[in-house]
Structure 1
Amino acid sequence: MRNTIRYGALVAAGALALAACSSAPEDEPDSTATGTETETEAPVEDVDYMACMVSDAGGFDDASFNESAYEGLTRAEEELGIQIAEAESTAESDYGPNLEAQVAAGCDLIITVGFLLGDATAEAAAANPDVNFAIVDFGYEEPIENVKPLFFETDEAAFLAGYAAAGTSSTGTISTFGGINIPTVSIFMDGFLAGANYYNEETGGDVTVLGWDGTDGSFTGDFDNQTNGQNTAQGFLDQGADIVMPVAGPVGLGAAQAVQSAGDAWLIGVDSDWTQSAPDYADVVLTSVLKNIGNSVFDTIEASITEFSNEPYVGTLENEGVGIADFPEGIVPEDVAGALDGLREGIISGEIEPSTAG
């Protein structure tokens, strides 16, 4: 029931049942060496199939969910032998025209990236019933026959990050903020708060979380203005926070600038491992709340080549659709890091609620 309730918060009451959800894909194994000779992979045969993608306004180089999704698309091109095409949006007004262009290009599957493309995707799917679609981070109260939702229970992973942040902070104040107050953003913030609260309950701590109170919090109002992110993060740092988790796409890069300039604070990335996707700030990344969007995109494309299904994919800790990245060595106290495995199992079993909603 816990997962069903949280999933329903994203798609409205009576939405798709989680019992039908797909399992998270496993990474493909690397080629292996036998003796002194390295096996050579056979060339990938071309497949008569085109998968396409439309970004939201953050673009494909956002060091966040658009970029992760695009990596899944290009991996499909390389490993499955398909054709791909993409359309990068710079504003909400681009969504409809970009979708129309992809339909006109003859795409077999069009993947849209982000909650903000929900309406445009539904309209395109209704107008083109013979074209299949998938959408990252959005679902519909009434399932659409030719649209597959890709969801992630990111509060589960953010709970672990919040617990670790609370146990690592030297000031006793940590913080988070979002780009726009939509469920796919606030779910990170809520899990982060729940994890910090749990740390306080279990250890007798008194760590304060700035930026989200379980109902409302700090949002910049956009996903692209890095100055807004820098100013918001600086406001938290000025209040004594020494750990900041921005959930705001490229806006988070502005927060990273503020954290790095402070010299005594840490950043928690989201969606991808920021030590890899934002290497200029790797020295201040405590961890990242991972949403394995690339794998879900690849898996959806691979399955759809044979048969399309609109059953939703939901990434969880249990199926490794979400998780957290490694900590820098020696920064997170051993007892705090050591507690995370037990917390993970508690979340999977349902013994621990990873949100403040209960």
Structure 2
Amino acid sequence: MKKSIIAVAGAAAVALTLAACGTPTDEPTSGESGSASEGTSETSEPAENADFKACMVSDQGGYDDQSFNQSGKEGMDMAADELGIETTEIESTSDADYGPNIDSLITDGCSYIIGVGFLLEPAISSAAEANPDIMFGLIDAAPAEEMDNVKPLLFNTAEAAFLAGYVAAGTSESGTVGTFGGLPIPSVQIFMDGFADGVEKYNEDMGASVRLLGWDKEAQTGSFTGDFENQANGTTTAQGFLDQGADVVMPVAGPVGLGAATAVQGGGGTLVWVDSDGFNSTDFGDIIVTSVMKEIGQAVFDSVSEAAAGDFSAEPYVGTLENGGVGIAPYHDFDATVPQELKDMVEDYTAQIVAGDLVIESVNAP
């Protein structure tokens, strides 16, 4: 297995990357160290996978976002370790990097290229149309029209977010909770839709009147920071919720959510994390009551495995509660304080959703 990670910041860096890829003598051999932006390692490579190379392009959040980019990379790491294939991951630092980064991976001989996030859809679709012999994957989005060489990896997170909204409403002491997104895109808004429904269902069941800040599901309008990088924006937005009485906040904004966590921790509230189990992936486990998880890493691993075995299919993968593609995390430090009745209700609604008896609707669902 040969593995590399490349951090690219702008066109000049892309050009340097392309130059390096074209110079075999520059590639580290077993036991050598790569440059500051590229690391490699070698193990024996199975003959059947010798010509297969899986690659990934992050969105602007980068692979250290403690959220969905990181989860995607973990899937690639698993593929490299368990399948013995060569992998490369490139980080994007702005929207302008997506196209050049994908082009560099094509030049580098990648067999299967996965774009992480809704924002990469135009660049992936364009590259797939121009390179019909290369396989592509796309997390959290699908091409406008079905393409034979693009596999969408999608997640119905409204189902899991419904459960998290129910928990948030049931654990709020102030009777006010909040949610906000990074950008107003379907893969963000679907979380907010489910969360809103969970709060509403709790109110219906308990005769309560928990108030939701930051999202109007019917109007599809709410609070957005405008990016996935500036943690200060997350701090400001979350603080605004706290000032209005919220004591549970769900940021759907990648690294921006870390800024929200800082505000919530300082304000004595609790947090619902998204994409990964924030208790494990962030330093804010002590305030995270639960997380809305997307099993992106497993979906990436499975799609890479299929492609490497010659079984690539453009049929979309949709993660649900039923197939384990989405879910909520354990309560961890809050296990003793979350009421048993609330836990039982969450388990009951999980079973109803899996059985198809309860459908969580969202205009943003895949």
Partner of 1:275: 279
2:231 is aligned with 1:231: no
2:127 is aligned with 1:105: no
Counterpart CA distance in 2 for 1:219 and 1:352 is 29
Instruction: Give 2:274's aligned amino acid.
Output: V
Counterpart CA distance in 1 for 2:216 and 2:358 is 19
Q: 2:256 aligns with which of 251, 257, 260?
A: 251
Partner of 1:290: 293
Q: 1:91 to 1:356 in 2, by over 3 A?
A: closer
Contact kept, 8 Å, 1:189 with 1:212, in 2: the verdict is yes
Counterparts of residues 160-239 of structure 1 (less than 5 Å): 160-214=163-217, 215-239=220-244
Alpha-carbon offset, residue 44 of structure 1: 6.8
Contact kept, 8 Å, 2:234 with 2:260, in 1: the verdict is yes
Instruction: Give 2:98's aligned amino acid.
Output: Y
| Matched residue count | 314
CA deviation vs aligned residue, 1:42-68 (integer Å, no higher than 9, x gap): x97433111000000000111111000
Contact kept, 8 Å, 1:44 with 1:80, in 2: the verdict is no
Q: 2:338 aligns with which of 332, 338, 344?
A: 332
Partner of 1:319: 323
Contact kept, 8 Å, 1:167 with 1:199, in 2: the verdict is yes
2:350 is aligned with 1:348: no
Instruction: Give 1:344's aligned amino acid.
Output: T
Alpha-carbon offset, residue 256 of structure 1: 0.5
Contact kept, 8 Å, 1:194 with 1:356, in 2: the verdict is no
Instruction: Give 2:231's aligned amino acid.
Output: Q
Contact kept, 8 Å, 1:138 with 1:150, in 2: the verdict is yes
Q: 1:332 to 1:282 in 2, by over 3 A?
A: same
CA deviation vs aligned residue, 1:153-175 (integer Å, no higher than 9, x gap): 00000000000111110000011
Instruction: Give 1:209's aligned amino acid.
Output: L
Partner of 1:116: 119
Alpha-carbon offset, residue 356 of structure 1: 6.2
Partner of 1:7: none
Q: 1:44 to 1:168 in 2, by over 3 A?
A: farther
Counterpart CA distance in 1 for 2:240 and 2:129 is 45
Secondary structure of the structure 2 residue equivalent to 1:84: strand
CA deviation vs aligned residue, 1:167-210 (integer Å, no higher than 9, x gap): 11000001100000000000000100001100111111110110
Partner of 1:139: 142
Secondary structure of the structure 1 residue equivalent to 2:78: helix
- Taking structure 1 as the reference length, the TM-score comes to 0.86
Secondary structure of the structure 1 residue equivalent to 2:291: strand
Q: 1:267 to 1:92 in 2, by over 3 A?
A: same
**Aligned residues: CA RMSD:** 1.3
Instruction: Give 2:242's aligned amino acid.
Output: L
Alpha-carbon offset, residue 353 of structure 1: 3.0
Contact kept, 8 Å, 1:230 with 1:256, in 2: the verdict is yes
Partner of 2:32: none
Structure 2 residue runs without a partner (length 5+): 1-42
CA deviation vs aligned residue, 1:111-140 (integer Å, no higher than 9, x gap): 000000000000111111111000000012
Counterpart CA distance in 1 for 2:72 and 2:339 is 33
- Taking structure 2 as the reference length, the TM-score comes to 0.84
